[in-house]
Structure 1
Amino acid sequence: MRGHEGDDGTGLRLGARELGAEPGERATLVQFSSAFCQPCRATRRILAEVAGMVEGVAHIEIDAEERLELVRALGIEKTPTVLVLDAAGRIVRRGVGMPRTADVIAALGEAV
């Protein structure tokens, strides 16, 4: 996944309250999208497929326009942006743009 690696320095832990959905037991793929973002649709398919392959991993899509406070807190500047969270809700990987399936699987390896 392109973008930053490791803890992004925000110090935030993202849980159900912040995400608006239950995170995965082992890891969570968080996708920030916008309505007219074509790469967001392909990213949704990739992340849903990977989450379906790995037990305990959830995919949560967040509409960036509806969650501006979270977007600002996390420094999200473009869609799609994907955050890979570990079981504790810490950001272990961040990527901007449509990811490759292999890169998502590799990033999950760091989270679980």
Structure 2
Amino acid sequence: MLADRDSGAAAHHGGRVRLGAAELGAGPGERASLVQFSSAFCQPCRATRRILAEVAEMVPGVAHIEIDAEERLDLVRALGIEKTPTVLVLDAAGLIVRRAAGMPRKADVIAALGAAVA
């Protein structure tokens, strides 16, 4: 399940974390972004990549951005990411609105996106 939670890092806005293109290494989606932290030998990361790509394809204006956790240890530490995959759902402003560790269910990702684009 994707929980309401953000911690640590990047730019803070009213106690919430905001991630932009500089932190993400890619342009965020117009309406929302699905940010996945992965590692090379993580089996659930592959399935998560497929789920997030499918959801991003279904919803206009949503980007799926995958970040290699080993290459971005600074961001991993700043955000308090402890395992891969970890998925962050960002709204159009780049604010983290949902967060989940482990492989999410497609229905949960869709529901979390609903909160992000509302």
- The interval holding the TM-score normalised by the smaller chain is over 0.9
SS at match of 1:55: coil
Q: Which runs of no fewer than 5 residues in structure 2 stay unpaired?
A: none
Match of 2:80 in 1: 75
Count the aligned residue pairs: 110
CA distance in 1, matches of 2:78, 2:25: 15
TM-score by length of 2: 0.90
1:1-112 mapped onto 2 (5 Å cutoff): 1-2=1-2, 4-6=3-5, 8-10=6-8, 11=12, 12-112=17-117
Please provide the CA RMSD for this pair.
Answer: 1.0
Q: Which runs of no fewer than 5 residues in structure 1 stay unpaired?
A: none
Identity %: 83
CA distance in 1, matches of 2:87, 2:112: 11
CA distance in 1, matches of 2:85, 2:115: 21
CA distance in 2, matches of 1:14, 1:48: 20
- Distance apart, 1:98 and its partner CA: 0.5
Q: Which 4+ runs in 1 deviate beyond 4 A?
A: none
